């Protein structure tokens, strides 16, 4: 059970008790009017639930959203002028969050992430909010996303009183994930191509920042690939040496990023406001670095780019679908990630469907290779 109803005087429901993703029992008021987000990018999760009312109740958030995904922030701010007026409770890290600023906003509820850029369960912010009798709920789209996305959306549906919206999204999400899992159920391990994903490619001094067991590494596994970083990292995100990547010589090389069209430095341009040609050019640029350019995956046309923010978003089903299409084009010949994305926007999101969220490095715009990777 995720929650139970507490009955007040006269038999009226006065609150709900939920178990959040940090394993905490939290009493939620019957009506929530003022919400603080521990990370700004939690707006990705609230959007399918609140839709056109997305910014009616958000009074504070951390500032990493407008820095880490500038063009998505701009897209929301253009549609919702109230977004620009949401108070900043901190910059891009947990240590910049001010408990005093949060309390001054008089929130009814704080939604935080189990891990990431914002305050954790043992933070001073949580201690002060609890002392002020402000409920704090933890969700997770980052550490174990394919397990926790459904659980997190159901919790948010309960605390925001958007249960129907949450269940609609969960049904959409689960049906697409189940389709991929069913198709791959009998796939032998020998048919799973080896894959390496370089996160925030080209933006760091050295390669290679990546995902291991969990996070986007879980997307690779779910899509029928074999993540070469999984046995090399102690956690779900970390760094491995370029020499280890070269020695593994993966069948597929993936890079991600969220840089905007006006960005002039190295990195993958992807997401809202990015056209396919710009995205492809940026992917090809980061693949030309020494050591990476000579990998078989890059030479053979098995190199791709995608949106970094899939790593911390309930839209991660799109990453799983496109990876499945890349890794197993024959098995998933009928799979259409573009149609799934269009459905996501049409049914659940208040903003228009625009931008580029995945692309092939292959000239000519072919998104799926004609041949499968070597076993």
Packed helices 316-327 and 337-348: angle between N→C axes, nearest 10 degrees: 170
pLDDT in tens, 159-174: 999 999 999 999 999 9
Distance (Å, whole) CA 249 – CA 229: 12
pLDDT, position 189: 95
pLDDT, position 122: 67
The gap from C-alpha 292 to its chain's centroid, in whole angstroms, comes to: 26
What does the pLDDT average to over 258-278? 94
C-alpha count within 13 angstroms, C-beta hemisphere, residue 243: 0
pLDDT in tens, 6-27: 433 333 344 689 999 999 999 9
pLDDT in tens, 122-132: 688 888 999 99
**85-112 CB burial, b ≥16 within 10 A, e <16:** ebeebbebebebbebeebbebebbbbbb
pLDDT bin (cut points 50, 70, 90) of residue 372 is very low
- Helix, strand and coil content of the chain, in percent to the nearest 5, comes to 40, 20, 40
Establish whether the linkage from the previous residue to 208 is cis, with ω within 30° of 0: yes
């Amino acid at each position: 059970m995720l929650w139970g109803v507490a009955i007040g005087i006269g038999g009226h429901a006065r609150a709900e008790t939920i178990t959040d993703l940090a394993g905490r029992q939290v009493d939620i008021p019957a009506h929530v009017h003022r919400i603080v987000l521990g990370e700004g990018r939690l707006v990705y999760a609230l959007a399918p639930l609140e839709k056109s009312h997305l910014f009616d109740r958000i009074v504070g958030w951390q500032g990493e959203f407008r820095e880490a995904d500038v063009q998505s922030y701009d897209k929301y701010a253009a549609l919702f002028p109230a977004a620009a007026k949401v108070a900043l409770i901190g910059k891009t890290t947990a240590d910049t969050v001010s408990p005093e600023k949060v309390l001054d906003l008089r929130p009814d509820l704080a939604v935080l992430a189990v891990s990431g850029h914002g305050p954790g369960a043992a933070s001073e912010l949580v201690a002060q909010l609890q002392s002020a009798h402000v409920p704090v709920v933890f969700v997770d789209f980052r550490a174990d996303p394919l397990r926790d996305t459904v659980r997190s959306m159901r919790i948010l549906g309960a605390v925001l009183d958007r249960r129907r919206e949450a269940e609609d999204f969960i049904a959409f999400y689960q049906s697409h994930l189940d389709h991929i899992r069913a198709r791959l159920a009998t796939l032998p391990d020998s048919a799973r191509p080896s894959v390496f994903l370089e996160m925030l490619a080209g933006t760091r001094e050295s390669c290679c920042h990546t995902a291991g067991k969990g996070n986007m590494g879980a997307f690779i596994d779910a899509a029928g690939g074999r993540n070469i970083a999984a046995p090399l990292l102690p956690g779900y995100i970390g760094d491995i040496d370029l020499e280890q990547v070269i020695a593994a010589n993966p069948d597929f090389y993936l890079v991600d990023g969220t840089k905007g069209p006006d960005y002039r430095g190295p990195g993958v341009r992807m997401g809202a406001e990015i056209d396919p040609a710009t995205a492809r050019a940026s992917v090809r640029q980061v693949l030309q670095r020494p050591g990476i350019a000579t990998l078989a995956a890059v030479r053979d046309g098995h190199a791709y780019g995608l949106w970094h923010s899939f790593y911390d978003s309930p839209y991660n089903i799109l990453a799983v679908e496109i990876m499945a299409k890349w890794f197993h084009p024959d098995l998933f010949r009928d799979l259409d990630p573009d149609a799934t994305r269009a459905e996501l926007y049409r049914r659940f999101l208040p903003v228009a469907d625009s931008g580029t969220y995945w692309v092939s490095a292959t000239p000519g715009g072919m998104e799926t290779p004609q041949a499968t990777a070597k076993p």
